[in-house]
Amino acid sequence: MQRYWQTATILGLFAASPTLADRAHDLAAQASSQTTASCGNVTTLAGCHPGKPTGCSHSQNPRYDPYLNFLKNQAPARDLVPDRALSRENFVELEDAIPGDLSTRNHADFADALAGLGEGNIVSLVGFLYFVENTAVTSKHRGETCNCQLKTNPTFDFHLGLGFDADLARQVRQHLVTHDPNNTGELEQTSIVAEMTPHTRDTKWTVSRLNQRALGRSVKVIGQLVADNAHVSEKDDCDFEDDPARPCWRATVWEIHPVIQFLVCRNGATCTDSSPNTDWITLEELP
């Protein structure tokens, strides 16, 4: 997978206001101080967050990326206004700008560069909700280090697949095509991943509510932009390449994580970034 530096181009996405980079670079300034941790006697979500800012592992020699978990475990205020509305094309540019030497465990080495691309800032994305995935099921209850390897349903992230094809979204609504994490296809390979984290999501943000009220519909997701370097590999990252023969399962390593607001287009029609607030309703307000 080739990577190209396009920093000057990408920075243009975030340079309109001198305040935009504050959150991104404030987080990046803390990168070098983040370390792995052992879980010890952590047995509850309350014991994990915020007490373990980088999560933890039951291994005697934890080998996860602590700065990546530190970013994932942020709890931004739910009412933060996004700095930028990003499009699919913006995510393609961000993907192309990922440092070539970024690996699964060296996120802190590139904290400043990734902050320059907007990592850590609050962004919005409008697309179609292709699928919802409870990682408690797909991970076979192995437990995620960001969530202290806890293994009960409420302690796992929800993965959301966000796509941009209206016809494919219609098929999702009509149940003509469904998400299969074991046999990935167009739904997964063209999706941008957003994640609802257990310690930040609203109590009404449930898998069943998402599937019943939002699946296949036009949605707006607001949250923190993060490059999930745990998936910097050809087996995971499709790199926005249209090749059904590849085994990858996501369009890009860039995510919205955590999600702080989730809105659904009121009339079921396709809303856009410029749609007025009255066209949207929050997931928790849906009848």
Across 5-23, average pLDDT: 50
CA 124, 134, 129, 285: dihedral to nearest 10 degrees?
-70
Across 122-135, average pLDDT: 96
Place of tokens 């929050």: 282
Q: Is 20 or 269 the better-scoring residue by pLDDT?
A: 269
How is the chain split into domains, by residue range? 77-143+156-285
Write out the DSSP string of 122-156: EEEEEEEEEEEEEHHHHTTT---GGGTT--SGGGS
Nearby residues of 279 by Cβ (< 8 Å), 6 or more positions away: 265, 266, 267, 271
Across 188-199, average pLDDT: 97
User: CA dist 248 to 52, 95, 177, 188, 252, Å?
Assistant: 31, 15, 18, 8, 10
Class of domain 77-143+156-285: mainly beta
Q: What is the pLDDT of residue 244?
A: 79
- Least confidently predicted of 14-23, 44-53, 164-173, 180-189: 14-23
* pLDDT 10s digits, 225-254: 999 999 999 999 999 997 878 889 999 999
How do 218-227 and 122-134 pair as beta strands?
antiparallel
Nearby residues of 154 by Cβ (< 8 Å), 6 or more positions away: 45, 198
- Please state, in angstroms and rounded to a whole number, the distance separating the CA atoms of residues 130 and 56: 31
Q: What is the pLDDT of residue 21?
A: 46
Categorize the per-residue pLDDT at 127 as very low, low, confident or very high, splitting at 50, 70 and 90.
very high
In this structure, what token pair is assigned to residue 89?
């094309």
